[in-house]
A and B are shown apart, each in its own frame.
Chain A
Amino acid sequence: MKKYFTFIILSVSVSAFAQDFDKNMATAKASYSSGNLEDARFAMEQMLRDLDVMIGKEILKMLPAKMGTLSANVADDNVTGGTGIAGLFVHRTYGVPPKMVVIDIMNNSPLISSLNALLSMPMMGMGGDPNQKQVKVQGYKSILRKNQNTETGKTDYELQVPFNNTLLTLKADDTNEAEILNFANLIPLPKIAQVAQ
């Protein structure tokens, strides 16, 4: 029942965006033809934002419904489009505290270049930090960080996977390396990379 409800909400919001996109496309074409460049530009900015949101919703559909025994908190799903600096942003959580898994996907992320530098030069920044290492997930070079939570005394992990201009971050509470890598392997990374770029 909950699934149907979510599907209806998603469908309604997608069709609302579709209407906005069509309206903005018509405005952009008309404004450009009449020489009103600024209005054309504004309509295009809106279109880019709408497209980011549409792409984000496509990505949400690709994410698994469960991470191990943890179910997705679909009601907390979040997609933002921003025509820019951090462009598309997709957020999903699984489980409840104290055991949660969080997926964040950012397009045009400013973090990408620094992460890629780390990945292409393994000696840089890696050697000195025993809580950080490179791993491969579905063929993608990634950075895995271990965090000792001082409040709970438990170990949290964070995995960052950069592809093209997109960054996927997977965080898991109270876990171990094998479990977070299992979680990561449930995410269809190549498909997300294809849609997000």
Chain B
Amino acid sequence: MKTKLLVVAALITALSITKLPAQSMLNKLKKTAEDNALKKLGGKTGTTTTPGNTNTNTNTDPNSNGNNSNPSNNSGGGLISTPPDVKQSLADGDVAYKAGKYGEARYSVQQAMLGVELEIGNKILKSLPSTVSGLTTQTSEDQVTSTGYGWAGLTIHREYGNGNDKEFRVTVANNAAWMSSVNMYLSSGGYAQTTGGQQNWKQTKVKGYRAIIEYSEGSGYKLSVPIGQSSLVVLEGVNFASEPDMMTAANNFDYDGIKKMLGEQ
């Protein structure tokens, strides 16, 4: 046992003594190999490289992804976004259910639900104002997301901008998991507001709905408005001059209408 310990100790000491020269030798070898490789590459592609500068672009083939063998994709139209056919999915679900294929029936009903949620989302998107505080809709950023499960629910997202650095984003989330934390803030009187120092969040009201407004140096204003039992509207304003500016923008939205379309009480 003692002999073993002594051998291990001797090995550790030897390694720590020889570590520095061995490392410097390795570094030298590595540097020489790098320099040689760069010289060779420079000669092959016609680019000149200076020792130590490794940022030179030596890739002359537009179709190469650096591996020189596999072409990278530079065409193709992506996937076709087709929402599921609700009526067909329901009919399929009915047939599968009657045949006792419950797993198949569940899949079909999920597809139908996905289709309906996407329709609800698109309806809400259409109802949103086309401009907010002089910022116009960035149509390419419009987004409706659904899982078809009903629990992670439905998310609708739109962005407004003016091509400069001012931006306004709206996200409507139905059956959102984060609802509970926002409602906890609103229902608990224990979350007192601070009066001293920088006030970074507070409770407010938007068109009669209780809400929370937050400010962060990095991301700007954020207003969370819970509507109904399980829906939340989040408004984010980047480079808005003041809180009243943000509130004016928030007042452009028809919260009652969104709530009704989501079937909320």
Which A residues lie at the B interface, using CB under 8 A?
21, 25, 28-29, 32-33, 37-42, 44-45, 47-48, 51-52, 54-55, 58, 82-85, 108, 194-197
Q: Are A47 and B150 neighbours in the complex by a CB distance under 8 Å?
A: no
Residue of A nearest to B146 (CB): A41
Picked from B86, B90, B149, the residue with its CB within 8 Å of the CB of A25 is B90
Picked from B87, B97, B102, the residue with its CB within 8 Å of the CB of A195 is B102
Q: Which residues of B contact A108 (CB under 8 A)?
A: 149
Q: Which residues of B contact A82 (CB under 8 A)?
A: 151
**With contacts defined as CB atoms under 8 Å apart, how many contacts are there between chain A and chain B in the complex?**
76
Given A25-B93, A28-B90, A196-B103, A40 contacting B149 (CB threshold 8 A)? no
Residue of A nearest to B101 (CB): A195
Residue of B nearest to A83 (CB): B150
Given A38-B261, A83-B150, A51 contacting B87 (CB threshold 8 A)? no
A25 CB, nearest partner CB in chain B, Å:
6
A113 CB, nearest partner CB in chain B, Å:
14
Q: Are A32 and B86 neighbours in the complex by a CB distance under 8 Å?
A: yes
B46 CB, nearest partner CB in chain A, Å:
45
CA distance A82 to B261 in the complex (A): 23
Q: Are B109 and A44 neighbours in the complex by a CB distance under 8 Å?
A: yes
Q: Which residues of B contact A51 (CB under 8 A)?
A: 97, 102, 105-106, 109
Picked from A38, A48, A194, the residue with its CB within 8 Å of the CB of B263 is A38
Q: Which residues of A contact B116 (CB under 8 A)?
A: 32, 37, 40-41, 44
CA distance A42 to B153 in the complex (A): 12
CA distance A82 to B106 in the complex (A): 12
A42 CB, nearest partner CB in chain B, Å:
7
Given A21-B97, A42-B263, A83-B151, A48 contacting B87 (CB threshold 8 A)? no
Q: Which residues of B contact A196 (CB under 8 A)?
A: 103
Q: Which residues of B contact A85 (CB under 8 A)?
A: 151-152
CA distance A38 to B106 in the complex (A): 19
CB pairs A–B below 8 angstroms (23 shown): A25-B94, A25-B97, A28-B112, A29-B90, A37-B116, A37-B119, A38-B261, A40-B86, A41-B116, A41-B263, A44-B112, A44-B113, A45-B113, A45-B150, A47-B109, A48-B106, A48-B110, A54-B102, A82-B151, A83-B149, A194-B103, A195-B102, A196-B103
Q: Are A84 and B87 neighbours in the complex by a CB distance under 8 Å?
A: no
Name the prevailing secondary structure of the B interface residues.
helix
Q: With a 10 A CB-CB cut-off, give which of A40, A85, A108 has the most chain B CB atoms.
A: A40
B217 CB, nearest partner CB in chain A, Å:
34
User: Is the C-beta of B120 less than 8 angstroms from some C-beta in chain A?
Assistant: yes
Picked from B106, B113, B151, the residue with its CB within 8 Å of the CB of A52 is B106
CA distance A48 to B226 in the complex (A): 26
Q: Which residues of A contact B103 (CB under 8 A)?
A: 55, 194-197
User: Is the C-beta of B31 less than 8 angstroms from some C-beta in chain A?
Assistant: no
Q: Are A58 and B90 neighbours in the complex by a CB distance under 8 Å?
A: no
Q: Which residues of A contact B151 (CB under 8 A)?
A: 82-85
B119 CB, nearest partner CB in chain A, Å:
6
A108 CB, nearest partner CB in chain B, Å:
8
Residue of A nearest to B111 (CB): A44
B112-135 CB mask vs A (1 if < 8 Å, else 0) is 110011011001000000000000
Q: Are A32 and B106 neighbours in the complex by a CB distance under 8 Å?
A: no
User: Is the C-beta of B223 less than 8 angstroms from some C-beta in chain A?
Assistant: no
CA distance A33 to B91 in the complex (A): 13
Q: Which residues of A contact B38 (CB under 8 A)?
A: none
Residue of A nearest to B107 (CB): A197
User: Is the C-beta of B156 less than 8 angstroms from some C-beta in chain A?
Assistant: no
Residue of B nearest to A47 (CB): B109
CA distance A44 to B86 in the complex (A): 11
Residue of B nearest to A84 (CB): B151
User: Is the C-beta of B262 less than 8 angstroms from some C-beta in chain A?
Assistant: yes
Q: Are A48 and B113 neighbours in the complex by a CB distance under 8 Å?
A: yes
